[in-house]
Amino acid sequence: MAAFGAQNGPSWWVRYSPPVFGWAAALALPSARRNVLANLRRIRGEAGVIRDVVETASTFGNYAACLAEVLANGSKNAGLAQPLPVGRQHLDNAAAERNGIVVATLHTGGWETVGPLVLRHHGLEVMMVMEPERDRAARELQDQARRLSGVGVTHIGGDDPLAALPLLRHLQRGGIVALQLDRVPKGMRYRSVRLLGRPGAIPEGPIRLAQLSGAPLLSIFCARLGYRRYLIETHPPIRVARRATTAEIDAAAQSIADAMTSFLERHPTQWFHFGDHGEAASGR
């Protein structure tokens, strides 16, 4: 239904209606609503009831708006996103190396809409690594929308030692591999970090990919500012030596966690972790 409305409804419908559906979802899904509120409290601490309600509703509304803009790809309602880049020089310098790039990102506003747009500016092929959706039809629908935005999609779950081989080959060809770090599915290797002021964990995979490939590791986070307007924040590259020690791997993980913490503290209602897709990285 969301895809049909985004692709076939009038343009004003795509622009103005999604938050209403997001708010309705917040009312209809108490478990997801509790998870969102728990995440907000991890980020900014306890607050009054009014702020809890407003920011929880805002999170659901932001998600619905981002989803509508992704699902509109390839239809009459498709439109160009307007990125506001911060730290763009870090991406420019990494792309100039032509050695591939490992991108660490989050389930936040606009990544699937504008992240690929910014990365493809350099003429590099982007592959997004996703945890498989449990529902096959939902996965195919979302993957099609992503491909229409010009990116490849691969699904990896668990701890399969061979799963990284296609990603390594993609990096060796000079491509970009983008992975999201804020969920740690059961069975996935992780590194313990200090995240949002408390013990947490992030997946180890992106760090190991950077180590094995020699590609720079960039943290790139997104936030939706308005209709098709997005902030793109790129952090300095992390270099992981081929023979990095355990301490060096841990330091790389903590550097990513610090960047995540800083971004989420400034954009708390942009974090889309509703539960049931692996543990939130900060809640491990």
Boundary of a domain, candidates 51, 71, 91: 71
Task: Find where tokens 């992503």 sit.
Answer: 146
How does pLDDT run along the chain (284 residues), one tens digit per residue? 888 888 899 999 999 999 999 999 999 999 999 999 999 999 999 999 999 999 999 999 999 999 898 888 778 988 878 888 899 899 999 988 888 999 999 989 887 766 666 666 777 788 888 766 666 666 666 666 666 555 666 766 555 545 677 888 889 888 899 888 888 877 788 999 999 999 999 999 899 999 999 999 999 999 999 999 999 999 999 999 999 999 999 999 999 999 999 999 999 999 998 875 445 565 54
Domain-located, residue 31: yes
Residues 111, 236 within the same domain: yes
Residues 66, 117 within the same domain: no
Dihedral angle, C-alpha 101, 113, 283, 36, nearest 10 °: 170
Residues 159, 189 within the same domain: yes
Dihedral angle, C-alpha 177, 182, 187, 191, nearest 10 °: 90
Strands 183-184 and 279-280: antiparallel
CA gap 163, 188 in Å, rounded: 12
CA gap 205, 251 in Å, rounded: 15
Boundary of a domain, candidates 71, 90, 107: 71
Boundary of a domain, candidates 71, 104, 119: 71
Residues 54, 137 within the same domain: no
Give how far the C-alpha of residue 87 lies from the chain's centroid of Cα atoms, to the nearest Å. 17
Residues 91, 223 within the same domain: yes
What residue numbers bound the domain in which 217 lies? 82-269
Residues 34, 103 within the same domain: no
Residues 43, 172 within the same domain: no
Indicate the helix (H) or strand (E) that contains 248: helix 246-266
Residues 8, 144 within the same domain: no
Count of domains for the chain: 2
